[in-house]
Structure 1
Amino acid sequence: MAVEIVLLAPVMMAFMMLVVAGGRYVAVRGDIEAASRDAVRAASLERTEAAAAAIAVDTANAALQNVGRCTNAALGGNFASGGTITVTLSCEVSYDGLGLIGLPGSKTVTITSSAPIDQFRRTG
């Protein structure tokens, strides 16, 4: 019995650490997707491209306060009536404390969300 526990304990610990790493990745990816979606929606309601870029950055930063290292939101696309704009966010998922199973220190996750601009809306 003692030999079985000695042999299985490291395998079970490695499996649990892998589950934790997967959970971190899924949680951070979900947070980034939500922040990207919120940022592009807020930007699509603005009248000027400069105001849209500023509100996209502010919205993304507010949503990603506890995520870790993230880049500022990048606004792209066609900011005109009937156009589509996109917001791109990149953040790193930290695997600190999980190096025993061979995972790198972090992984970069990049998410892009798009939203249409109302064709009857006046943009500046």
Structure 2
Amino acid sequence: MTRDRGPATRARSARWTPRTPDALRTRRYAPRFGACRDRGPATRARSARWTPQAPDALRTRRYAPRFGACRDRGSVSVEIAILAPAFLMLIVLAAVAGRTAIAQNAVDLAAHEAARTASLARTAAAAETDGEAAANATLDAQGLDCGDSLEVAVDTSGFGAELGEPATVTATVSCTVSFADLVMPGVPGAKTVVATYVSPLDRYRSRA
């Protein structure tokens, strides 16, 4: 049994009509009130100027270089052109300093061995021969090739001293290091390294 709810209820019931599922779905997802209303001249002007873009256009715009990027490429090239010679000169100078240090170390060791070996000899002639041989062997072991520039001088004047008097043997080794393969303005073509070492003689051992 349906109860009569009054004139207002009867009026709404008279206006109501059943809706199909499509009509309900359309109404459910319809835009809210005011979603498409006119928002003024500025909004209409922007809408008139806007044009849809294709995906390729969007991708090109997204990955386009920033303003001034092309100008940065030119400045980087200029910086490289200025710094490259200085960097190359630094590398060459480091190579020269390294070779000189290695050669100086080898010559110092050769002079030490030459003087020590010469001080163990019995005669002055044997001291000179043994000292030169020791210097050459030491340089070969160190891998330093002096070529014709190698000079080994053994001072045997101490062999003339009387027994009981202090005496020494002095060995001097000179070698010229070549930098011919390092072609760079301002770099010398060669450098001569010299080392001297003094070794004492046994004052109570017979010598001639």
TM over 0.5: yes
Q: 1:39 aligns with which of 99, 110, 114?
A: 114
Deviation at 1:106, TM superposition (A): 0.8
Deviation at 1:33, TM superposition (A): 0.5
The aligned amino acid for 1:73 is: V
List alignment gaps of at least 5 residues for structure 2. 1-75
State the match for 1:98 in structure 2. 182
State the match for 1:88 in structure 2. 172
State the match for 1:15 in structure 2. 90
- Cα deviations by residue, 1:9-60 (Å, 9 ceiling, x for unpaired): 1100001100100111111011000000011001111111111111001111
SS in 1 for 2:180: coil
State the match for 2:48 in structure 1. none
State the match for 2:158 in structure 1. 78
Q: Is the 8 A contact 1:36 1:87 kept in 2?
A: yes
Q: Is the 8 A contact 2:150 2:176 kept in 1?
A: no
Q: Distance in 1 between matches of 2:99 and 2:185?
A: 15
Count of residue correspondences: 124
Q: Is the 8 A contact 2:170 2:198 kept in 1?
A: yes
SS in 1 for 2:184: helix
The alignment's C-alpha RMSD in Å is 1.5
Q: Is the 8 A contact 2:123 2:207 kept in 1?
A: yes
List alignment gaps of at least 5 residues for structure 1. none
Q: Distance in 2 between matches of 1:101 and 1:35?
A: 32
Moved over 4 A (4+): none
Q: Distance in 2 between matches of 1:103 and 1:53?
A: 36
SS in 2 for 1:50: helix
Q: Is the 8 A contact 1:72 1:89 kept in 2?
A: yes
Compare relative contact order (CA 8 Å, sep 6+) and give the higher one, 1 or 2. 1
Q: Distance in 1 between matches of 2:185 and 2:91?
A: 10
Largest Rg, 1 or 2: 2
- Cα deviations by residue, 1:67-123 (Å, 9 ceiling, x for unpaired): 223434211141245201101111101112223132222122222111110112221
The structure where helix makes up a greater share of residues is: 2
State the match for 1:51 in structure 2. 126
Q: Distance in 1 between matches of 2:93 and 2:178?
A: 13
Q: Is the 8 A contact 1:17 1:98 kept in 2?
A: yes
Q: Is the 8 A contact 1:17 1:101 kept in 2?
A: no
